[in-house]
């Protein structure tokens, strides 16, 4: 009897500190100020949502939801290609949402004809469901979603429309029957570029539409048939309609419903700054990488002076040299986060040049046993990734920042493991090549032309190994860099699993969408099996490799299966590792879609660097919106947890510098801004759950 009041009091204090059921929910439409972790009860209530940080004093707005199954109808624009002029039109799509008490991901695609909904359209529905949930500060698993379109439909250009439609369904607002829009949805809620807009507009005007929306930056769009630029605003005006530029999901919702949705107010840029101890920690790690590169350069210079180097190895060394110089320039200007990432990337090329030369020398001497042994030794270096992941799994976080620190380390080491696995596959191909040439004459092996051919078969394996080691080392170093000063916190493992499932579902949809758009087209174009196209594209685009592996990591054999057995599915280590992988795949796949499809980026196939972007104005606006979204999400994280995650601020600082570089840097900046947003969103999700 004597202990009961103490236990009861402790439980009450815990419930209040976590926003438990004892708190009285505010009236929808009101603004409330929450203490860290206090918004949980209000945010999880099925008939309401909480939009965090909707004013500069960190107030949050409570929004009323329908709280029951509700259906809206939107008209999805399309173009029909074939013989004769391209035709545009639209088809009605029924979007239904409702509460989801069982906590599983529930997204249904209803078809009139078997196989009528194409892969790209299905992926668009999944992404729309995910973004609409997160926009309301909810989990994907909080709702059931379904989409039904008549006939045969495909393409993801309606994903922005469906995102706004799902929001209208959840909020109980009506869709203006005279309004429709086109555009993809990006992970930060911005509306991305699409094609065929002039034909879409004309076809929808014929159907009686008076208000037409298009992605930001695409007022002047090419006609599919004439290839001429068309002013969409003037086109609509000439036909008795109006055209409106739609920058993001908030504007899309307002355009379709006439209602506004509260959104977080961005924090000031000063709030995204790093603490001195974080900066000093990064500077110390930078010096370590710099010293390692210097040793590689000394080795290369000695070899070059003694006998010269093949041109292909010189190219690797020159890339390393340029990246090293850029890193040092950034460091001297005070941009240490970008300098740190750049110096690590420089090491990848410098170490690859030295290691490739080591193997080349053995091959040219006819020592194939030694070459294979050296190759095996280098592949073994990538195996350090497995040890690092296991060490991270031993961490027992007790703060919110500690959970995010662990996730950040998992993300980098999981990316390293991806390159480790890929290096093993490439290593087999390299060993097969050695077998083919082992009987060649010494003169043939030592010729300049054959030296470059040997390097061409060795360097991809070595680059993958170097990337595995660099990514792993960055993950381990991050444990020292990323402080965990934040509120005490113990996460709910079932909810972490739900979050991981949500991100996994969204990233898988993204991946299938990208492969349907691009990789399958490559397989058809070059008449090779799909698996071959996947491998070749992964060698050219490392982000695709990471996205593919991390999307499926939780269900893969090998190391993931071993870790699941060693740690247990119900452990914090496995839960955070799964969540880290699915989030990593989410923003990697989103960038792939933007880079290779939405924005129309051209690539120099010799350097693998982007040279131009088709929709330049749209890209500029996407960057600006991504920057703003990063600071909006930072505000939400600050309200939810009391601080902005250091991971979000590091990514933001890196993005700010990259934004001022060339096109490749700008694309990296877009990814870094999205990464910043995802870390802030994750902090909110963990606090809410």
Domain boundary among 490, 509, 539: 490
Among 27, 48, 64, the domain boundary falls at: 64
- Are residues 214 and 241 located together in one domain of the fold? yes
d(CA 667, CA 323): 17
Residue 673: the pLDDT is: 94
Residues 234 and 602: their CA atoms lie apart, in Å, by 30
- For residues 38 and 100, membership in a common domain is answered with no
Up-side HSE of residue 255: CA atoms within 13 Å toward CB?
A: 29
Model pLDDT, residue 483: 76
Claim to verify: residue 315 and residue 344 sit in the same structural domain: yes
672 lies in some domain: no
Place of tokens 């076809």: 203
Parent domain of 46: 13-64
Instruction: Tell me if 593 is assigned to some domain.
Output: no
Looking at the structure, tell me whether residues 202 and 234 fall in a common domain: yes
Q: pLDDT tens digits, residue range 504-552?
A: 888 888 888 888 878 888 888 889 999 888 888 888 888 898 988 888 7
3-state secondary structure of 99: strand
Residues 6+ apart with CB under 8 A from 445: 363, 364, 366, 437, 454
Cα-based torsion angle of the residue sequence 426, 427, 430, 435 in order, rounded to the nearest 10 degrees? -130
Same-domain status, 119 and 206: yes
Residues 332 and 463 in one domain: yes
CA–CA separation, 567 and 303 (whole Å): 47
Q: Give tens-digit pLDDT for 421-430.
A: 899 889 999 9
What does the pLDDT look like over 473-515, one tens digit per residue? 999 999 999 977 777 887 778 888 888 888 888 888 888 888 8
Task: Indicate if 333 and 479 belong to the same structural domain.
Answer: yes
Does residue 373 form part of some domain?
A: yes
Residue corresponding to tokens 């955070």: 576
The confidence score (pLDDT) of residue 621 equals: 87
- The whole-number pLDDT of residue 534 equals 87
- The count of structural domains within the chain is 3
Nearest CA to 265 out of 15, 624, 634 is that of 634
356: in domain? yes
Same domain, 301 and 366: yes
Angle among Cα 116, 122, 127 to the nearest 5 degrees reads: 165
Model confidence at 415, in pLDDT bands (50, 70, 90)? very high
466 burial class (0-12, 13-18, 19+ CB within 10 angstroms)? buried
Instruction: Determine, yes or no, domain membership for 509.
Output: no
Q: Give domain status of residue 190, yes or no.
A: yes
Same domain, 168 and 40: no
Per-residue pLDDT at 329 = 95
pLDDT band at 1 (very low <50, low <70, confident <90, very high): very low
**Are 463 and 436 in a shared domain?**
yes
Query: Does residue 358 lie in a domain region?
Result: yes
pLDDT value, residue 27: 59
Residue 237 inside a domain? The answer is yes
pLDDT over 80 (residue 19): no
pLDDT at 327 over 50: yes
Which domain CATH number covers 237? 3.30.230.10
Contact indicator for 350, 322 with CB cutoff of 8 Å: no
User: Residue 113: pLDDT above 80?
Assistant: no
Q: Which residues pair with 10 in a beta bridge?
A: none
For tokens 């500077």, the residue is 283
Top-confidence residue, 377 or 466: 466
**Residues 173 and 44 placed together within one structural domain of the fold:** no
Same domain, 473 and 336: yes
Cβ distance 311 to 452 under 8 Å?
yes
Regarding beta strands 601-604 and 609-613, do their DSSP bridges make them parallel or antiparallel, or are they unpaired? antiparallel
Q: Which residues contact 177 (CB under 8 A, 6 or more apart)?
A: none
Distances (CA, A) of 314 to 309, 405, 454: 6, 38, 14
Quick one: pLDDT at residue 189? 87
**Which pair of tokens denotes residue 160?**
């922005």
Q: Taking the model in full, what pTM does it have?
A: 0.89
Give the separation between CA 124 and CA 74, rounded to whole angstroms: 14
- Token digits of residue 285: 């790690």
């Amino acid at each position: 009897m004597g202990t009961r009041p103490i236990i009861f009091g402790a439980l009450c204090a815990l419930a209040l500190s976590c926003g438990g059921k004892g708190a009285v929910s505010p009236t929808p439409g009101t603004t409330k100020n929450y203490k860290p972790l206090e918004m949980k009860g209000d945010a999880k209530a099925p008939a309401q949502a909480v939009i965090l940080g909707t004013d500069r004093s960190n107030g949050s707005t409570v929004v009323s939801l329908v709280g029951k199954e509700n259906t809206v109808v939107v008209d999805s624009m399309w173009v029909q290609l074939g013989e004769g002029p391209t035709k545009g039109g639209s088809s009605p799509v029924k979007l239904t949402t409702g509460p989801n008490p069982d906590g599983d991901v529930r997204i249904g695609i209803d078809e009139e004809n078997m196989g009528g909904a194409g892969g790209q359209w299905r992926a668009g529905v999944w992404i729309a469901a995910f973004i609409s949930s997160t926009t309301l500060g909810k989990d994907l698993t909080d709702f059931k979603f379904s989409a039904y379109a008549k006939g045969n439909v495909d393409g993801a250009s309606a994903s922005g429309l469906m995102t706004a439609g799902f929001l209208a369904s959840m909020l109980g607002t009506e869709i203006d029957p005279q309004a429709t829009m086109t555009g993809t949805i990006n992970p930060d809620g911005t509306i991305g570029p699409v094609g065929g807009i002039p034909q879409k507009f004309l076809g929808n005007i014929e159907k009686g539409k008076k208000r037409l929306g298009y992605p930001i930056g695409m007022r002047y769009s090419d006609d599919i048939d004439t290839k001429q630029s068309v002013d969409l605003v003037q086109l609509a005006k000439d036909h008795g309609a109006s055209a409106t530029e739609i920058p993001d999901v908030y504007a899309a919702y307002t355009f379709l419903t006439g209602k506004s949705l509260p959104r977080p107010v961005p924090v000031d840029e000063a709030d995204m700054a790093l603490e001195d101890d974080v900066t000093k920690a990064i500077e110390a790690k930078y010096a370590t990488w710099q010293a390692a590169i210097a040793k590689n350069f000394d080795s290369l210079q000695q070899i070059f002076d003694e006998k010269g180097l093949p041109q292909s190895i010189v190219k690797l060394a020159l890339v390393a040299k340029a990246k090293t110089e850029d890193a040092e320039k950034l460091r001297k200007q005070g941009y240490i986060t970008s300098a740190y990432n750049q110096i690590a990337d420089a090491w990848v090329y410098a170490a690859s040049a030295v290691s490739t030369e080591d193997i080349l020398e053995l091959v040219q001497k006819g020592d194939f046993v030694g070459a294979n042994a050296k190759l095996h030794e280098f592949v073994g270096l990538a195996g350090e990734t497995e040890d690092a992941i296991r060490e991270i799994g031993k961490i027992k976080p007790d703060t919110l920042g500690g959970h995010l620190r662990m996730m950040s380390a998992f993300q980098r080491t999981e990316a390293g493991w991806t390159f480790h696995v890929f290096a093993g596959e490439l290593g087999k191909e390299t060993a097969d090549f050695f077998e083919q040439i082992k009987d060649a004459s010494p003169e043939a092996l030592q010729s300049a032309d054959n030296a470059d051919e040997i390097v061409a078969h060795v360097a991809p394996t070595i680059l993958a190994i170097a990337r595995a080691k660099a990514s792993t080392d960055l993950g381990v170093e991050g444990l020292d860099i990323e402080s965990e000063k934040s509120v005490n916190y113990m996460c709910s493992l079932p909810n972490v699993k739900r979050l991981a499932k949500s991100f996994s579902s969204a990233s898988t949809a993204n991946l299938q969408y990208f492969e349907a758009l691009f990789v399958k087209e490559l397989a058809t174009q070059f008449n090779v099996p799909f698996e071959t196209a996947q491998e070749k594209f992964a060698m050219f685009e490392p982000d695709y490799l990471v996205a593919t592996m991390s999307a499926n990591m939780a269900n893969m054999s090998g190391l993931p299966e071993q870790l699941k057995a060693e740690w247990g599915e119900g452990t914090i280590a496995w839960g955070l590792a799964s969540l880290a992988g699915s989030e990593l795949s989410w923003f990697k796949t989103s960038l792939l879609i933007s880079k290779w499809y939405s924005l129309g980026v051209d690539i120099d196939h010799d350097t693998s660097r982007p040279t131009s972007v088709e929709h330049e104005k749209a890209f500029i606006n996407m960057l600006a919106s991504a920057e703003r979204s990063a600071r909006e999400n930072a505000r939400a994280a600050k309200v939810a947890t009391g601080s902005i995650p250091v991971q979000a601020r590091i990514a933001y600082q890196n993005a700010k510098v990259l934004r001022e570089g060339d096109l490749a840097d700008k694309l990296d900046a877009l990814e870094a801004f999205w990464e910043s947003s995802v870390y802030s969103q994750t902090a909110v999700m963990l606090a809410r759950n």
